[in-house]
Amino acid sequence: MQATNLLKARILLWSLFIFSLVFYLARELSLPIFKQTPVVEIAVLAENGVGGGTIPTDMLPYTDLHPEFISEFEGVPEPEEFSRPRMLTFSSYTLEKGDMIGPIAVKAGLNEDTLISINNIRNTRLMQIGQVIRIPNQDGIYYTVKTGDTLESIAESYNTTISYISTVNELFSLEIKPNDTLFIPGARMDWVSRQEINGDLFIWPCSGYISSPYGYRISPFAKTRHFHAGMDISSQMGSPVRAAMSGRVAQIGYDDSWGNFIIVNHHSGYRTFYAHLSAVRVRAGAYVSTGERIGDIGSTGLSTGPHLHFTVYKNGVTVNPRSLMR
């Protein structure tokens, strides 16, 4: 009996030895029967990261696992159905104290542009507690069809497809008419429009406080009611006046009412006017960057004391500067 058990033990040991030898040779010689899909450790890609895991090389864009390849690995594209537009649906949200458009958009998993466009918000600073806004189920903006527009031209303009636009808007034909409103999935507002609505387009042109706002007032000279087409900022004599946005100096000069003044042309139809300056520090035709010093606070012209009169024009018409300032 003891001899039989000893024989069995030897057979088992030899079997394990042979199996280990075969496995070792198969791996070293890359025999197909034992070949495994090689992997790349994600950990080697991070210097200070946490977590881990592996990615089979057949999921990677290349099969050469040199270090330079690993550094170029950027990820695997998401499945198309993840971002495919769906029919447009909405939920609602009632604004509470302290709510701002940015955090609301983050909670909804959307861009600010989407909520601004969907709710036709003209100034995010004027949103009111209790106001109900609509929350769509996907990103995008509204577009008003213009004369000559086609679905093809709109899709090309916003880098999307006719199929996507048709799906979201439940269109059953390619016919669209001027003034129709379409939801363009994934589209974004242009930078200028977003800055206008958020009141972040211009910086303050000088330090100080608003001594006379934009709008109707009693004239300090004629003592009659008139429209004040700009904003007066009271400040210290000689302190810097800066370009509220980058642009090109269109004109400098002197006027009996405005005193020393500067006019700067900007992009998107904007023009700014700075008056009552004690000194002008730029020349006509010069390019100025945002925040660059262009003059000094003064009290020239028709003025009751040192201040800056600041006017903003949009396509030739005055607008309230305060609604556009950071």
Parse the chain into domains and list their residue ranges: 2-72, 90-198, 209-324
Pick the range with the lowest mean pLDDT from 71-80, 117-126, 238-247. Answer: 71-80
Task: Evaluate if residue 52 carries a pLDDT over 80.
Answer: no
Segments in 51-119 forming alpha helices (H):
67-72, 80-83, 101-108, 112-118
Average pLDDT over residues 85-100: 91
**pLDDT class of 40 with cuts at 50, 70, 90:** very low
Distance CA 167, CA 110 (A): 19
Predicted confidence (pLDDT) per residue in 125-157, tens digit = 889 999 999 999 999 999 999 999 999 999 999
**pLDDT class of 295 with cuts at 50, 70, 90:** very high
Distance CA 96, CA 119 (A): 16
Global pTM exceeds 0.85: no
DSSP secondary structure letter of residue 216: E
The pLDDT of residue 194: 86
The pLDDT of residue 17: 62
**pLDDT class of 3 with cuts at 50, 70, 90:** low
> What residues are paired with 225 via a beta bridge?
218
The pLDDT of residue 111: 92
Instruction: Report which of 124, 101, 95 is spatially closest to residue 200, judged by C-alpha positions.
Output: 124
| Fold of domain 90-198 | Membrane-bound Lytic Murein Transglycosylase D; Chain A (3.10.350)
Pick the range with the lowest mean pLDDT from 12-21, 51-60, 212-221. Answer: 51-60
The pLDDT of residue 200: 80
Predicted confidence (pLDDT) per residue in 227-251, tens digit = 999 999 999 999 999 999 999 999 9
The pLDDT of residue 193: 87
Interstrand relation of 39-41 and 54-56 (parallel, antiparallel or unpaired): antiparallel
Side-chain half-sphere of 251: how many Cα atoms within 13 Å?
A: 11
CB atoms within 10 A of CB 96: 10
Task: Evaluate if residue 48 carries a pLDDT over 70.
Answer: no
Q: Of all residues in the chain, what percent carry a pLDDT higher than 90?
A: 62
**pLDDT class of 184 with cuts at 50, 70, 90:** very high
- Report the top-level CATH class of 209-324: mainly beta
Q: Decide if 278 contacts 299 (C-beta within 8 A).
A: yes
3-state SS class at 317: strand
**pLDDT class of 87 with cuts at 50, 70, 90:** confident
Is the dihedral angle over the CA atoms 265, 269, 272, 273 positive or is it negative?
A: positive
Q: Decide if 132 contacts 96 (C-beta within 8 A).
A: no
Task: Evaluate if residue 84 carries a pLDDT over 90.
Answer: no
Q: Decide if 273 contacts 308 (C-beta within 8 A).
A: no
The pLDDT of residue 35: 46
**pLDDT class of 268 with cuts at 50, 70, 90:** confident
Across all residues in the chain, what is the average pLDDT? 83
Task: Evaluate if residue 16 carries a pLDDT over 80.
Answer: no
The pLDDT of residue 288: 95
